[in-house]
Amino acid sequence: MCGILAVLGCADSSLAKRSRIIELSRRLRHRGPDWSGLHCFKDCYLAHQRLAIVDPASGDQPLYNEDKSIVVTVNGEIYNHEELRANLESHQFRTGSDCEVIAHLYEEYGEDFVHMLDGMFSFVLLDTRDRSYIAARDAIGITPLYMGWGLDGSVWFASEMKALSDDCERFVSFPPGHIYSSKNVFIVINLTVLQVDCGGSIIPHGLQSVYPLLLMMLQVSVMPSKRHAVIKRLMTDVPFGVLLSGGLDSSLVAAVASRHLSKAKVARQWGSQLHTFCIGLKGSPDLKAAREVADYLGTFHHEFHFTVQEGIDALDEVIYHIETYDVTTIRASTPMFLMSRKIKSLGVKMVLSGEGSDEIFGGYLYFHKAPNKEEFHLETCRKIKALHLYDCLRANKATSAWGVEARVPFLDKQFINIAMDIDPEWKMIRHDLGRIEKWVLRNAFDDEQNPYLPKHILYRQKEQFSDGVGYSWIDGLKEHANEHVSDAMLMNASFVYPDNTPMTKEGYYYRSIFEKHFPKNAARATVPGGPSVACSTAKAVEWDEAWLKNPDPSGRAALGVHNDAYQEEPEKIVASENFTSAIGFPQAMRDGMVEVTATTTAI
């Protein structure tokens, strides 16, 4: 992953301002340690910190069109760039970078081109001919992007909050699947990130009795799309690997990558044996399962250990990098942060990861309690639309902290469209029919003739990453928080933190660290809130009355579902009604605090 910073319409264009932009851009250098770039045009600055993955020799940014009248700074990967280049025969390309195509597409089509991009991206493009600009973020929000406003009227964009929080009076998380155009003056919020209305064209009701045919339809639709999603993400000119926890999602990614690596271009440069990586406390569930999968697939497996104390010692740095105080995100980010450092030390700069599957297929254990297929589907939609605030944020920032790029095949646009078009009835957990969570995905890869995975791995119960690295990790975090947050502090939390009040001592502890790094109101408003059980949304907590008394994001909080569920209620909480929306901009903006005068385009 790279780091981008754009400042447009500055009142000050002095050398001192240029130096300040460079200083702020350096705050993103962990994302892109390979090269730094800056383009200045009158009152506009586009800065870039590069992590070189494709075309390391000549793909430095910012990037340009032929006469350099169009400038773009990009964070991401465009997987269909070769196809797009082929349709731009009249254009001359300067580099082999996949991102250069953005400048030429704009030159050819104007602002109406972003939907053509297949990839993960955030970018800012400056047209020096009329001093207009656009900013865009991919449909899911895999790559982070923030937007801010300075007192001098300037507009700011950055990959991470830390690059603009000091100099912007106000800033927000840029909404996924949107384009901001300076020609339209301002932005209109549109939360329709994906068209994920209730599915059903795959496995229609009229065929539910024809069971063998249904299984074949699943395998024909889901498995090829998933294979293609993994293969296209093998586009790299540097060493790579797969994050392998031993769970279903990461194991399938590893299995597909391993099976097709020998035919990929990258194998000619870096060999055909896949490297896999796993981290956990000694004796943890993930370490054992990952080793078994790695042995089955024949990968070059790297197993890393950490202690609870090492994780606790890293919390301050983790929260600074991932820029959130959400409890479950911090729990899972810490081991991922530690593992990424080890991975980078081995010379690896890109990894494939399994995020997104649980949101698409309803894989979290709380989905066992979904009352009907409509509620099941609506919850998957809510989870997908909030990914940019949770798992995408974690996977991106925890790896980027050490200059490693994480790619997520399950969040491929084509794969999502196919998976969300399946009748949700066939995603529901039905013990009477032998269907566990993510049955659709498990069955699609249940190949008797040429197995992708051993049966017991293919049908292993869901473990959240923060649980799978070792149950004592979360227990240790709670104990540590209890030692630093008193009962009186928690009781008065609503006065100290009236917005998005922490509900547990662990939440209070993380919040205090976050506030130290990011003290502005705008910063805390970028973090979602509300009760959660086993990573559910606040709405899904209503599915089971017992969950209202047990709002812990750990999978073990899914009482009556997880094999090692909590045996007693966790610490008491502080009730609060000040929960911010889990999706979109802060409430003040949604309520019309800022005058809206133009439109934005959904990607």
Does 243 belong to an annotated binding site? yes
Strand extents, DSSP E, 34-87: 35-41, 44-50, 63-64, 70-78
CA angle 110, 115, 117 (to 5 degrees): 95
Helix (H, G, I), strand (E, B) or coil at 465: helix
Residues in the chain: 603
Q: Is 40 a catalytic residue?
A: no
Among residues 485, 523, 525, the alpha carbon closest in space to that of 503 is found at: 485
Among residues 367, 360, 393, the alpha carbon closest in space to that of 539 is found at: 367
CA distance 558 to 554: 8
How many CB atoms are closer than 10 A to CB 542?
15
Helix (H, G, I), strand (E, B) or coil at 137: strand
CA distance 522 to 515: 11
Does 98 belong to an annotated binding site? yes
CA distance 163 to 518: 11
CA distances from 372 to 357, 382, 428 (A): 20, 16, 8
CA distance 444 to 423: 15
Q: Which residue has the tokens 């600074």?
A: 320
CA 433 to mean position of chain CA atoms: 33
Q: Which amino acid is at 491?
A: M
- Give the phi and the psi of residue 265 in degrees, each rounded to 5: -60, -35
Among residues 546, 226, 538, the alpha carbon closest in space to that of 378 is found at: 538
| Spatial contact of 471 and 550, defined as CB atoms under 8 Å apart | no
| Spatial contact of 170 and 148, defined as CB atoms under 8 Å apart | yes
Per-residue DSSP letter, 445: T
CA distance 471 to 331: 11
Q: Give me 35's structure tokens.
A: 């090269």
From the candidates 2, 10, 381, 535, which is the catalytic residue?
Answer: 2
Among residues 7, 153, 188, 120, the alpha carbon closest in space to that of 393 is found at: 120
Per-residue DSSP letter, 35: E
Does 286 belong to an annotated binding site? no
Numbered residues of the known binding site for L-glutamine: 98
Numbered residues of the known binding site: 98, 243, 279, 353-354
Numbered residues of the known binding site for ATP: 243, 279, 353-354
Instruction: Enumerate the active-site residues.
Output: 2
